[in-house]
Amino acid sequence: MKKKTAGRIAGIAAVAGTGATLLSELGTVPPWLGIAVVVVTFPLFLLFLGLWWMARETDADIPFLGY
């Protein structure tokens, strides 16, 4: 997966999770919906955050093939 894709998914998940929590705090959406969105987005956020920061930006090293 490209670094950019992983970063975007993590970002969207973080925005959706915090957004839903904020909206349920303001009373726009019912509390259970806010929690349900967090339950779905929190794992996505964690995993794609990891995939984003581990993703390589440059080419991999050329393995040492021996003399």
> Taking CB under 8 A as the rule, which mask of x and - marks residues 18-47 in contact with other proteins?
x--xx-xx-----x--xx--xxx-xxx-xx
Block residue for tokens 């996505």: 44
Are 34 and 58 within 8 A, CB to CB?
no
Q: Which is nearer to other proteins, 54 or 67 (CB)?
A: 54
Give CA separation, 18 vs 7, 15, 26, 40, in Å.
Answer: 16, 5, 12, 12
SS3 60: coil
Residue 13 binds other proteins (CB under 8 A): no
Q: Which residues bind other proteins (CB under 8 A)?
A: 17-18, 21-22, 24-25, 31, 34-35, 38-40, 42-44, 46-47, 49-51, 53-54, 56
